[in-house]
Structure formats: C-alpha cells, structure tokens
Homo-oligomer: A and B are copies of this chain.
C-alpha cells in the first residue's frame, strides 16, 4: 500500500530546560553523568532552584527525531501526550514549525512533561525528567489507521518505563505484524537497557524490532559485553538492521554479515550533545527511505548529529539539507 508518512515516532513529549553547569555540580547533586533520571515535582523544583538562568526548547527523544526528519523535508508524524498549558503550546508550535504533521493529544490533570538538562563544559547532558502529561500515553491514544499509514514507526526506549506506553507499543507491534509498516526502537540510555534488557532482546530475537538504534554504551549493555567489537559480534547474530553511534568515532550500521563504518569530521567546540542521537536517527532513516546506501545513510545521520552538537538545543539552527549537500550527500 502507499503510505502517507515515511516516519511516525512515538515518545514522551517534553520541554527541555537547558542550563549550563560545572562538573562539580553533578557530583554534589549525586547525578549519573549523561543519564536520564526520572524525578518527581518536588525533586524537579529543588534542582531547578539550584541552577542558573536557562533556555527552554521543545525536546523529547522521539519528538526530536520527527523534527529532524521534518527538517530534512521528509514526511513525518508524531504521537505523544501534552497538557493544554504554555509548555504544551511551545511543543505544538515547534512540531508544526519543523514540518511534522502532528495532531496534539491533550490529557488532563498534569502539566506538560519537562526535563532539566544539565549541560557540562564537555557538552554532555545529564537529564532530570519530570514526567507529567506524557506519562498518560496509552493504547487508547493509538489510531490504527495512522499507524498503518507510516512506513516506519519509531519508539524511544524510555517508553518502556511506563506500562501504558509499553502496552501501546505492544498493540502497535501486533497491528503491524505481517504488514509493510516497520518497527524501529532506540535504546534511549544505558540504564534503560539495564532495566528492560530481556524485553528488548526478545523483541529483537523474534523479529518485532526491525531497525535498532543504540549508542556504544547501550549496545554493550544490551549484550553485557565489555568491548564494542564483542557487541558487534553478538549483534550480527540477530540479523537486525542496526545503527550504532560512537560519538567522535562516527557510527556503524550493521545487519548480519554487513557492517558499514561512517566517520565524522572533528568538531572543535562541542556545546551540547542534546539530541545528537535523535537527529542521527532522522538522518539515517531519511537516507534509507530515499534510496541511499546503508553507508551513506549512516553518514547522513553523522552529518546531522555533528550540526546539532555545536549549539545549545536539539534542533538544527542551519539548513540541514545544505549541510548534507556540502558533505557530498543528498
């Protein structure tokens, strides 16, 4: 069948509160660097009162991937729940403005989710997420027709923390089985892998997850091995199409015996790594969908990620298509 969307992403709709801190601050606050921590309203307020003046932007891992896909000019949509508040308004606007064809799903009783993102001088980000309205996402918000209108449905691993959202995933996986709509999952972070390893592994083994996104730490955690090479050996056995990001070392695409390495040009001033993995996925999926080779698709993801880490915030601030063209892609 013909599809309305190339990509439909599903995730926690979040407003990012970006603030710069020194390394010491993470130690004082006993935070795991580069990880996402779920906090309640009191913890969120307490942390907020300790940090400097901030910048607010729309975020959320899978939302960033849809936005990135929109910036490439691709046909993307998004599912996530927000509240009718000012943060919800910002979220809606930024989705629309980046070309994502998105219908807001409003829920009541909680504010739009927000994440205080502590950016250290090395550009790493440590996230403290207060999950409000986004946690209400469940099977009742899933429009089967919308799902089947997409070539790929992409989920952020963070959803596994929320049983109703996981139920929505299960429903979608069942619905798309045997259709030409593919399921893709991003492993979110290392702690998420540690918490839900069995689920992710079995979904890979039984072929439910058809396109996997992970970074180096996450793929090692998935297979509980100490080296990247050992993780690649294990991952090859599954046959799942995988994209694995490696920071300054670029990224690797793998499917069974096929392994493609993409390098990335050096970045002299890494400002903020927020959204790097998310927009990598936009680029890789856009490339695959638009007839590019596996190697070039991986490279396209790297080029996009390289752009967003050079400024604060997860969205490109320059025309990403021009950047890709300069790199000899698109």
Contacts and interface: CB of A to CB of B under 8 A. Distances in A.
A312 to B, nearest CB: 8
A56 B53 contact: no
Contacts of A57: 53-56
Interface in A132-151: none
Interface residues of A, number: 27
Nearest to A86: B86
A154 to B, nearest CB: 19
Contacts of A313: 55
A97 B52 CA distance: 5
Interface string A51-71: 111111110000000010000
Interface string A1-27: 000000000000000000010000000
Contact of A56 (B48, B90, B96, B112): B90
7 contacts: A48-B93, A49-B93, A52-B97, A55-B55, A55-B56, A56-B57, A86-B112
The 4 lowest CB-CB distance pairs between A and B, nearest first, are A56-B56, A53-B94, A86-B86, A52-B97
Interface of A: 20, 48-49, 51-58, 67, 85-87, 90, 93-94, 96-98, 111-112, 312-313, 315, 317
